[in-house]
Each structure stands twice: as C-alpha cells, then as structure tokens.
Structure 1
C-alpha cells in the first residue's frame, strides 16, 4: 500500500469474501441490522421532500431580492439531502426490488437534482468494488488532483498544474463539483453502459429547463446568475464535505496490491465520529467503514453496526480509523499537500535550470 486517499447497488455478491468477513457478516445478521426500515425512509423522504418544496416556495416568496443568496444556501442543503437519498436508493437500502429502486433513483437523481443516476451508479459501483485503488477506483483517478506521490510523479496536463498547491485550493475546487455532476451526467448520455438513455436524458433536461426557467423568469439576469452560482457552489461544497472525508488521505492501492474484502474496505476508509447533527448532515456516510462492508444496510443501523465491526477489527488486530470531522479534513488536506511534493520539486528544478 501507498499512503494517500467515496458503491455498487446494495445486495451485490462480493467475490473472494474471506472467512473473517463471513464471521463478521453472521454477527451483523444475527443482530438484525440488515432488515429494511420502511418507516424510517418514509419519514426521511417526506421531510427531505418538504424541505425541497418549501425551499422553492421561499424562493418565489422572496422574489427580486438579494436575500435570494440566502435562499440559494437553503436550497443547496436540500439538494445535498436529495443526493444522499439517491445514494441510499442505489444501494437498495430503501427497496428490495430493482424496479422501484430505479424509478426512485431517476426521480430523485435526474429530475430532482439534475444528476444522471445511471452514470453515478456505474462510477460508484467501481469505487465500492476497489476503494482507493489508483487504477480501478474512479474516485482516485489523477484527472485534476493526485492522490499519491506515484501519481504526482506521473502527472500531466491539468493535474500537473493543480497538483502543486492542491491542498490549499481543494475547498475552492469543491465549488465546481455541482457543475461537474451535471456535465458528467450529460456526457454519460453518449456512453453505451447507460441503459435508460431516453429516460435519463429527458428527466435531466426537464430538471434543467424548470430550474433555469424558475430562476430567470423570477430574477433579473445579474441576480439570477448570482443565485445560480451561489446555489451550485454551496451544493458542490456540501457534496464534497459528505464524501471526501471518508477516503481521502487513507491508504491507496496499486497493481496487484489487493487485500481480502474485509481489510480492503476497512483499511481504505475513515469514519467520522457521529452525533445527531453529523449523522443527519452526512446521511450516515460518517460510518463509512460499516457502509463499505455492508452497502445495503439501512443507514439508521450503521451506528449499531459500528460497535460490532470495531470490536471484530480489534479481535483481528485490523486498524480501524475514526476521527472528528475537522480532524478528518486536516488529515485529507495535509495528505493532498504532501503528495503534491514531487510536482513542486519538478517545478523548482525546471525553474533552476
């Protein structure tokens, strides 16, 4: 492993599960933690849906006013919560059957927030199968940022430019993540793996049309652009704040470096210590280790599963990393700055020459 630094549809069969994971899985099932929670998700969908609707009601009530920038922040939070619901749907945490899961994902993801549910499923599946593997996990591909010094030494193009100071500019870059989500979804419409191309595209364009019409038929152009930028920037930062602390700065894998299933998921993941606020802010993803081990586990059960998983890891002497939210960001940002060192050294050598 090299030091560096967010799954598949739930219920997936994981090849090569060792006896350690099988024993842990029995304990989890005996505790009843894989059972569905329809009441919980009914309440959660209702509350998030109400927040989404009330956000837009507030938008139209405020009208032509710079207070709309505050409304943009409120709506960004509701978009982030919708993204979390799309995540739980993708993992079959809500429904056991594929059809209602896919319908829910398309409505929440494509229509609700303008994200391609199929594109995200494809990407997230590969992440869960090989978390933090530099050649197999798309979340640690060196497209813009580099996640290990090996990637930094091989960096080209934009990654070579950004990687010099990536720890310092990581948060500003997150403001673009909402836009990236939309653009990546539109690009995916041309990919052969997308099964429901017309449904995905139709729902996304319906979202974009309604979204832009609401903004620019209600607000003057300048104010509308300011609202759009604020909304998408805060949405992007919220997405990054939910997903980045879970793996960034944890060990990465390369080549044939592939431990067994349990160790692969535990060693590459970081938990963020929970509280009622953190649990709801991150939608349970603060229990990232447990989520990666049991992706189809309903999110309200993850805290109970943590007790079992942490004790089991202690029995096996498997490192289990958990820290506070602020410290998780410190670790991730420090790591980003450290792995960018080869790029800075290369730039310094070029300048001296």
Structure 2
C-alpha cells in the first residue's frame, strides 16, 4: 500500500479553493475525533489502572526470579539456553511496560511514568528509555508519513518504492530479498537496540546527562559479568546470543504487524488526526496474541488514545470500530497470520522495485508481483 490509497486519505491540491477545503476537512476531523473522545471518556476508559500494572510487574518480577533460580539450579548445562530464551521473553514483556510508561499509561503523573520507564528501560531491560521514547513519539505523531516517521525511514528495510529505487549495489540486492530476510533479521533486533542505546547514552553523557549511561553500564555490564563468571566461555556466549535473539524477536515481532503493509502517507498530505491514526494502523485479533503483544494488538486504539491503560483497550475497540464505521473510515483487524502475510507481501513488492531498477527490465519482473 505504498501508494497511500485508502479510504479517508486525502491529499492537498493546488486549486485556489484547496485551502478552504482543507480548513473544512480539519474542522470536520476535529469534530469526528472529539465525538469519539467524549464517548471514550464517558466510559471511563482513560482512567488509570494502577492495580493492573502492579499485578503485572509483580508477575514479571516473579518470572524473573524463577529464571534466575532455574539458572542457579542447572549450573554448567546446555539447558541454560532454555533459561536464556525464557529470560528474553520476560525482558520483552518488561519492555512493553516501559513502552506503556512512556505513554503515561501506568501511573498518574508524567514524572512518575518517566522515572518508571527509566528504571525499567535502563536498569532492568538495558535499553535507553529516553532515546527510544524520542523516536517513538515522532512515530506516533506521524505514523507512516514519509519523511516524518522514523519507523519507515530507509535502513534495514525499504518501505516505499522510492527508497527501494534509491538503493545501489549489494544494498539493492539485499533490499530485493528483504521479505525473505525479515524473520532472520528480527533475531538481530535486540542486539541493534542495545548498541543504539549505548551510542545514544554516550552522546547524552557528553552533554552532561550521565545517569542514563551509568544505569546501562551497571545493568548490561553486570549481566555480562555474571553470565561469563558462572558459565564456561562457550555456554556463556551461547546464553547471551540466545537471550538477545529471543528478546529481539519477541519485541520486534510485536511491533512489525502494527503498520507495515498499511497505507504510506506522502509528506504534505492533508489528513486529520483520527483518520491518520486509524488508516495507517492494524489491529491483531486472537486470544493467543494478548500475552505476546503486550497490548499492541489494539494498535488503532493505542494510537488514538496513547495514554489509555492496556486493560481498557479491548473495551475501547468496540467503540472505535462503531465510530469508524459511521464515518466510513477503514478499520483494519486481522489475525496475526493474515497480518504477517500482508507484511511479507508488501516487503516483497517494494523489494521487487529494487530488482527492476537494477536489471532495468520492469516488464520481466512485474508478473512476479
């Protein structure tokens, strides 16, 4: 859907009356969202659910303790790799709570949520909270908007045909096969997050903000020291590798289906907040996804109401769906299998453009799209 064609997506025009039409659309869009917001507030769905998060964090702390206990009991054994996989899953779930803290979902005050996010992100999971939050806020403000959403910038993947055409040499060959490489690369997502976090925290320390880096060094350095002090070199290296791979897969695999394969909005397009958030997001349905995705399965509701606590998102989805149907706005809900099918198809189709540019023969490849 990189051509941004979807119900509710409108672009600007050079016609003299375009400004007046755009103003009218913005007024209508504001009213459309205000009506939805009033209904959600009337249902008390924006109220904090501190008890839920206390129970969730306690459960994850208990799971962490069990992982540590299992590791101690197993000693010098290759079964430690199962412990490493379990630790990666627990860290991913704690990362989701840090994500919710960044959106003010957990506690009642902004500073309280920021302190919790810093604690969970830097001191527990080992990812720099402030660095991650800065990019994520930009994504929420401009989901799938070319040039504004860092999540669709050209990098490990190309999400637009223009970006695919811009690639050269081996990079172009890589992008041509990006759909096949998706899941193997997700295994490296955790290592990428850790490296990027350290780089960001070092930059912050140079500007006088040393606390973030200190917490990362204590957490990540302590973790590595403990693993390599208690296990032989080979098992310790494998333990760290498995934990990183599972953490990266569990984290990235929950984020990828949210927007990939949904409409891409061109820079300068006129789209009100409600429609921009809804048409670029995808919900994932199915009970098995609830624990796996940490609330991100209700991506539409999360984008419309970022501060809404996780346990309220399911109730909000019925309200939002009904509201969107009344407005004629596309509301996308798929199973995880359907979502990944569309994600892979989109990555393949965009990757084919890189192949066309390299071979100079678009006719030869168009039948494979």
TM-score over 0.5 for the pair: yes
1:264-284: CA deviation from partner (whole Å, max 9, x where unpaired): 000000000031x32121111
1:292 paired with 2:303, answer yes
**Structure 2 counterpart of 1:345:** 356
- CA-to-partner distance for each residue in 1:161-205, whole Å, 9 max, x for gaps? 421100000000011100111111111125469998311101000
Mapped pair 1:279 → 2:290: yes
Match of 1:80 in 2: 92
Matches within 5 A, 1:164-243: 164-191=176-203, 197-243=209-255
Q: CA deviation at 1:155?
A: 2.6
Do residues 326 (structure 1) and 337 (structure 2) align? yes
Q: How many residues align?
A: 340
Specify whether residues 337 and 240 from structure 1 end up closer, same or farther in structure 2 by C-alpha distance, changes over 3 A only: same
Q: Distance in 2 between matches of 1:159 and 1:24?
A: 45
How has the CA–CA distance of structure 1 residues 98 and 175 changed in structure 2, closer, same or farther, with 3 Å as cutoff? same
- Counterpart CA distance in 1 for 2:285 and 2:305 is 18
The aligned residue for residue 313 of structure 2 is: 302
SS in 2 for 1:323: strand
| CA distance, structure 2, for counterparts of residue 90 and residue 156 of structure 1 | 37
State the match for 2:66 in structure 1: 54
Gaps of 5+ in 2: 5-25, 365-369
Secondary structure of the structure 2 residue equivalent to 1:295: coil
Say if 1:175 and 1:236, in contact at 8 Å, map to a contact too: yes
Which of 127, 130, 145 is the matching residue for 1:115?
Answer: 127
Q: How does 1:13-52 map to 2 (within 5 A)?
A: 18-52=30-64
- Offset, 1:134: 2.1
Match of 1:90 among 95, 102, 115: 102
1:156 Cα deviation from its structure 2 partner: 4.7
Shift of 1:3: 4.2
Structure 1 partner of 2:12: none
Among residues 102, 112, 128, which one is paired with 2:114 in the alignment?
A: 102
2:172 and 2:358 in contact (8 A); partners too: no
Q: Deviations over 1:36-90 (max 9, x none)?
A: 1111111011001111222122122211111011111111110110110101111
Cα RMSD, aligned residues only: 2.1
Q: Is the 8 A contact 2:85 2:242 kept in 1?
A: yes
Q: Secondary structure at 1:115's aligned position in 2?
A: coil
Aligned mates of 1:270, 1:185 — CA distance in 2: 28
Aligned residue number for residue 8 of structure 2? none
Partner of 1:24, secondary structure, is helix
1:270 is matched with 282
Mapped partners of 2:311, 2:33: distance in 1: 21
Task: Please tell me whether residue 316 in structure 1 is matched to residue 324 in structure 2.
Answer: no
In structure 2, C-alpha distance between the alignment counterparts of 1:249 and 1:50, rounded to whole Å: 37
**Residue pair 1:118, 1:195 contacting (<8 A) in 2 also:** no
Q: SS of the counterpart of 1:2?
A: coil
Distance 1:189 1:134 in 2: 27
The equivalent residue for 1:255 is 267
Aligned-partner Cα distance in 1 for 2:167–2:37: 40
